[in-house]
Structure formats: C-alpha cells, structure tokens
Amino acid sequence: MDKKHLHNLLSAVRSGSVSVAEAVRRLQHLDYEDLGFAKVDHHRALRQGFPEVIFCPGKTTEQIVSIAERLAQNETTVFATRASAEVFAALQAALPRVEYYELPRAVVINRDHSLPGAGRVLVVSAGTADLAVAEEAALTAELMGSRVERLYDVGVAGVHRLLANQAMLQAANVLVVVAGMEGALASVVGGLVDKPVIAVPTSVGYGASFGGLAALLGMLNSCASGVSVVNIDNGFGGGYTAALINRLAAAKEE
C-alpha cells in the first residue's frame, strides 16, 4: 500500500465512510497484490519501515521485472539484490531511474540521492575478497537512511591496522563486521566497543572453511558479548539489522 492509498483510506475513516475497525483490519493484515506467482507485499513499508526487497536468485527475469514494476509505482524505492547484469538490463529497459551497483551486484530503482544519512553505521571488513558482501551491507543501510562509514581490510593477522582506527570503531552506533576464513575479526571488534556488532560471515576461504561454515561457527561462538550473526554472505541482512538499530540511536542524537 503506497502513501496515496493510505491517505485516501484515512480520509474515508475520518468522513465515516470506512469504519475504524475495517481500516485497522486492512492496514494490519490484508494488503498485498496477487500476481499468481507472487504476492507483492505492499504493506511491508508500513509494517516494517522498508518496502519488500527482491532477492533475485531462483526468479526468472520476467518475474523480477513484473514484481519491480508493481513495487515501483508511486516512485517508491525498489531494491533488488544479487541481480545479474542481464536482470539489470531488463529492468533498465522497463523502468526509469534504474542504477546498478557492480560490486554488490545490486539494482536500485528510484533511489533518493538527496536523503542525508542519519546516525552512524560502520561496516568493517577483514579482507579485500569480502568487499562484495561489505558493500551490500553498506548500500542496504544507506537505502534505509543510515549514514555509513567503511573500514576495510583490517583482518586480525595485522591487528595494528584495526587498532589504529579505534576512533572510527568508537564513533559508530552499530557495527557490521564482515569476515570470511576464521571470522576472528568479529570477536576482536566486539571486545573493543560497547555497541552492538552484527557479524556477517562470508564464504571467502577454501578447504575447511566449508563455504563459510568456519566463519559462521566462529562468530556464533564469539567470546565477546554483544555479537549477533546473520547468514553466510548475507550483507543485506547485516545492513538491514544495523539500520534498524541505528534508527533507534539516530533519533536520540537529534
């Protein structure tokens, strides 16, 4: 449900042509659009503060374009993650204001570049190979209204690189720590700050990393408190959670 529909509905409530109970019901549970293969959740922006995001793998290009078209009505920002170049091309052909972010392989439609970021999210990454995931986290948090800073390639094999940037660590409301291999960076950062740390294990590594399992287990068993973990390579989830937390803090700073 976009804002215009919401406005109309509430006006109808005020005028009495729609009862309060009916309006509550429609706003809480019922508003989605049925495309057959998908039920587009227009209500999500109201319910959760951010529109439905299109996770591209497993969907056909046609399905992605259809969903994007519905979501893009009324200039809402649309976010499609793990989009191939082919998907980007198809979206660009179908819609205006489509941007591609190559490193995180993300498409954004109707991005509002004038939005000033609020609060402060810090995305920290262990190695250069973790950048795609880190950038997905950063972009997600930015689209949700967060000011984002980046501190990259500070893996614990050279811990002085991290310690030299303690000021950045201390200044953030929330930190997203992105690391593959053994994922130890989350524990070291978690021990240095008094803010929540969202740890994102990556599949960077080989052999007994088992596709990111080693980093995942390492982060779940972190000896530092205040570290919680999202799925392997889930930069989107890390950025999303961080932005939710940052919103709580950002208001405080104003």
**In angstroms, what is the minimal distance from the CB of 50 to a copy of itself?**
8
Q: With contact defined as beta carbons under 8 Å apart, do 97 and 68 qualify? A: no
**In angstroms, what is the minimal distance from the CB of 249 to a copy of itself?**
4
State the Cα–Cα distance between residues 156 and 106, nearest whole angstrom: 29
**Residue closer to a copy of itself (CB basis): 12 or 27:** 27
According to DSSP, the residues that pair with 198 across neighbouring strands are 176, 228
**In angstroms, what is the minimal distance from the CB of 39 to a copy of itself?**
4
**In angstroms, what is the minimal distance from the CB of 124 to a copy of itself?**
12
**Residue closer to a copy of itself (CB basis): 32 or 97:** 32
**Residue closer to a copy of itself (CB basis): 97 or 192:** 192
State the Cα–Cα distance between residues 128 and 125, nearest whole angstrom: 8
State the Cα–Cα distance between residues 138 and 238, nearest whole angstrom: 9
120: number of Cβ within 10 Å: 20
Q: Is 229 helix (H, G, I), strand (E, B) or coil?
A: strand
**Residue closer to a copy of itself (CB basis): 96 or 131:** 131
Which sign does the torsion angle of CA 14, 29, 77, 130 carry? positive
Classify residue 206 as left (phi > 0), alpha (psi -120 to 50) or beta: beta
**Residue closer to a copy of itself (CB basis): 97 or 247:** 247
40: number of Cβ within 10 Å: 21
State the Cα–Cα distance between residues 107 and 65, nearest whole angstrom: 12
**In angstroms, what is the minimal distance from the CB of 187 to a copy of itself?**
5
**In angstroms, what is the minimal distance from the CB of 116 to a copy of itself?**
18
**Residue closer to a copy of itself (CB basis): 70 or 97:** 70
**Residue closer to a copy of itself (CB basis): 97 or 153:** 153
Quote the strand ranges of the chain, DSSP E: 33-34, 39-40, 54-55, 78-81, 98-101, 106-109, 118-125, 146-151, 174-179, 197-201, 227-229
**In angstroms, what is the minimal distance from the CB of 73 to a copy of itself?**
18
